[in-house]
Amino acid sequence: MTEPTADPSEVRIGDYVVHPLRRFVPEHSPAQIDAYVESMRTLGQIHQITLDEQGRIMDGRATLRVCLRLGLTPRFAPEQVREKHAEFVLQSMAGYPYTVAQKIFAAAHLLDSLKRDRKKFTGSGRLTEVAAKYIGGGSAPNITRAAAILKSIETARDPQEKAWLQESVGLVQRGLIHQFQHVEDLIAVPPDRRQDVLAKLLAPNAEPGRILREIRTVTGDEWYTPRDIAAAITWAFGGEIACDPCYPSNGGSPIQAKVTYTQDQNGLEHPWADGTYCNPPFSDTKPWIQRAIQEAEAGNRVYLLLPVHTDTITQLAVINAAVDVLLLKNRVSFVFPDDEEHKNRKSRTGWNALMIVGLLCSTKPLAEMGIAGKIIRSSTRELLTIIEPKRKPTTKAKKASKNRDIWTFTPHAPVTEPDPSEWHRDSDEDRTAEFAEARMKLEADLTRDAHLIEQGRRAVLQARDEMKAEAEAAKAARKAKNSKKEPQKVLAKRAH
């Protein structure tokens, strides 16, 4: 075995040098090493240590550390790794309890080495697919995004931003963040909240998953309704929205309501009004749906903008309670204003299939104003219900029902006016007046004044023209910005 060349940046375990690619794979925690010590004290060395042709450790760092700690002579695998070192490192991670995020970032670090090992895989997409094969299916897009995070650490000019990116990735290496999605949520935390969030993550008995889910609710759920939908909603309510219980904290939303509640004010704790529009946080729509149904039962008209997830009981409840539902034809690109310019955020919740639900009000005026979609009316739809098993199904039953349709369809009961003689004598007059008022309100909504429809149609077209002009201006600004950078790239390339 050849003696490795001395290098002050080398990671050494005793007299052995760790292969540079292995450094991207996190080591076991002290608690895991202690448990391994007790195991090897009783059973001896079970796993052999793998070296490359230069005698560097490719796999088995923990085993070597425990051997040296117990004074045992380490045993090495007879065959050495002579090529495709990056693939070997990725493959060796499969047998250890690494988190999903640790595997993804290790793969992102090894992409360049993987490309050298597999020269025919020149495209980045194919490289990530090869890496994902070793760490788990479906990880290729996340590997690409992790590589972008690592690249941003190298190119970051702001020292504070660079330090925060390094800290976020460092928490992954230490095993404190398990899911890659949580890493992106942590990176997106505003600067004024970072130290508080970090203190929570590093606290004893912390629950990183819960903490980071709360972060996502704060930083990732404020998606501004596009102006064309906002214009249609406004005129569907007669030219004014009475209440917006989910108004964004930063302001600037195209929804102009008389009463607004931000996230800090918590619209669930305040009264709503007749003519409410609610674009709830998509991470937790359940309490907002329940509140909207309660408001409709109290006689208040409510429009809800929701993602289409009809596998939940709550969504089935609001669909069944609605006058009608407008399934939007096109996916909505929500707008989130940054400090200087509007940017379309086309990821996560911004690209769900969406629907507008009308509670005690119809979505037909929205369609007539130009919001494209399919209307499901209460008079023609069928009630949706989920099969509730009488007892807990066995494993065999679960497998058998995997491909079975979980929906049953019950004919929708016709809505007819109850016979007043069947009501309680003391409440006949009150209930007759209540029913008549609700019926008149519904009929008035379904036969909306043609003048309001025309006003709404014009407002929608104007909003779309403004959105198109802003998009073209933003595109021109990006093009001009890139054209200035291009000569610098060419000069830098020639310099190399």
Query: Based on the domain organization, do 200 and 311 belong to the same domain?
Result: no
Is pTM beyond 0.85 here?
A: no
Query: Based on the domain organization, do 53 and 200 belong to the same domain?
Result: no
Q: Beta-carbon neighbour count of residue 449 at 10 Å?
A: 11
d(CA 293, CA 289): 6
Q: Beta-carbon neighbour count of residue 22 at 10 Å?
A: 22
Q: Which amino acid is at 215?
A: I
Q: Given a cut of 80, is residue 378 above it in pLDDT? A: no
Domain assignment present for 432: no
So what's the pLDDT on residue 243? 94
Rg (CA), the chain: 30
**102-106, 134-138, 227-231, 353-357, range with the lowest pLDDT:** 134-138
pLDDT in tens, 293-344: 999 989 999 999 988 877 678 888 888 888 889 988 876 666 554 433 334 4
Confidence of residue 271 (pLDDT cuts 50, 70, 90): very high
Query: Partners of 493 in the beta sheet?
Result: none
Query: Based on the domain organization, do 19 and 142 belong to the same domain?
Result: no
Which among 459, 469, 470 has a CA at the least distance from the CA of 237? Answer: 459
Which among 168, 85, 173, 180 has a CA at the least distance from the CA of 140? Answer: 180
| Percent above pLDDT 70 for the chain | 71
| Structure tokens belonging to residue 428 | 């006949």
Query: Based on the domain organization, do 208 and 323 belong to the same domain?
Result: no
Alpha carbons within 13 A on the beta-carbon side of 374: 6
Query: Based on the domain organization, do 165 and 257 belong to the same domain?
Result: no
Cβ-proximal residues to 310 (8 Å cutoff; 6+ apart), any chain: 316, 319, 384
Q: Given a cut of 90, is residue 276 above it in pLDDT? A: yes
So what's the pLDDT on residue 400? 47
Cβ-proximal residues to 143 (8 Å cutoff; 6+ apart), any chain: 104, 107, 108, 111, 128, 131, 132
Domain assignment present for 132: yes
Q: Which residue has the tokens 């390094």?
A: 166
Q: Given a cut of 90, is residue 428 above it in pLDDT? A: no
Which among 209, 218, 268, 214 has a CA at the least distance from the CA of 243? Answer: 268
pLDDT in tens, 16-49: 888 888 888 888 878 888 888 888 888 888 888 8
Residue 335 contacts residue 466 (beta carbons within 8 Å): no
Residue 293 contacts residue 321 (beta carbons within 8 Å): yes
Query: Based on the domain organization, do 72 and 189 belong to the same domain?
Result: no
Alpha carbons within 13 A on the beta-carbon side of 404: 10
The residue-averaged pLDDT of 83-99 equals 80
DSSP 188: T
Domain assignment present for 92: no
Domain assignment present for 430: no
So what's the pLDDT on residue 301? 93
pLDDT in tens, 145-198: 888 898 888 888 888 888 888 888 888 888 888 878 788 888 888 888 888 888
Q: Given a cut of 70, is residue 489 above it in pLDDT? A: no
Q: Given a cut of 50, is residue 399 above it in pLDDT? A: no
So what's the pLDDT on residue 304? 93
So what's the pLDDT on residue 430? 58
Domain assignment present for 71: yes
Consecutive H or E run containing 288: helix 286-297
Query: Based on the domain organization, do 237 and 370 belong to the same domain?
Result: yes
Query: β-pairing, 302-307 with 276-278?
Result: parallel
Query: Based on the domain organization, do 214 and 236 belong to the same domain?
Result: no
Query: Based on the domain organization, do 208 and 243 belong to the same domain?
Result: no
Query: Based on the domain organization, do 169 and 78 belong to the same domain?
Result: no
Domain assignment present for 60: yes
Domain assignment present for 441: no
The runs of H, that is alpha helices, within 332-371 are 364-368
So what's the pLDDT on residue 273? 92
Among 219, 238, 253, give the residue marking a domain's end: 219
User: How is 253-280 classified by DSSP, letter by letter?
Assistant: -S--EEEE--TTT-GGGS---SSEEE--
Domain assignment present for 492: no
pLDDT in tens, 113-131: 877 776 655 555 577 777 7
Task: Give counts: helices (H), strands (E), the chain.
Answer: 18, 15
pLDDT in tens, 333-346: 665 544 333 344 44
The residue-averaged pLDDT of 421-434 equals 54
Cβ-proximal residues to 272 (8 Å cutoff; 6+ apart), any chain: 243, 245, 291, 295, 300, 302
Query: Based on the domain organization, do 258 and 359 belong to the same domain?
Result: yes
The residue-averaged pLDDT of 363-372 equals 89
Using CA atoms, how far residue 374 sits from 329, 360, 414, in Å, is: 7, 18, 22
Higher pLDDT, 383 or 386: 383
Query: Based on the domain organization, do 273 and 294 belong to the same domain?
Result: yes
Indicate the number of domains in the chain: 3
Q: Which residue has the tokens 């992954």?
A: 172
Q: Which amino acid is at 336?
A: F
Q: Which residue has the tokens 């501004």?
A: 224
Cβ-proximal residues to 487 (8 Å cutoff; 6+ apart), any chain: none
So what's the pLDDT on residue 425? 45
Residue 299 contacts residue 362 (beta carbons within 8 Å): no
| Structure tokens belonging to residue 13 | 């375990």
Query: Partners of 337 in the beta sheet?
Result: 342
Across the chain, mean pLDDT equals: 75
d(CA 293, CA 298): 9
d(CA 401, CA 394): 11
Q: Beta-carbon neighbour count of residue 203 at 10 Å?
A: 10
What is the domain range of residue 23? 1-82
Burial class (CB in 10 A: 0-12, 13-18, 19+), 309: middle
d(CA 178, CA 185): 12
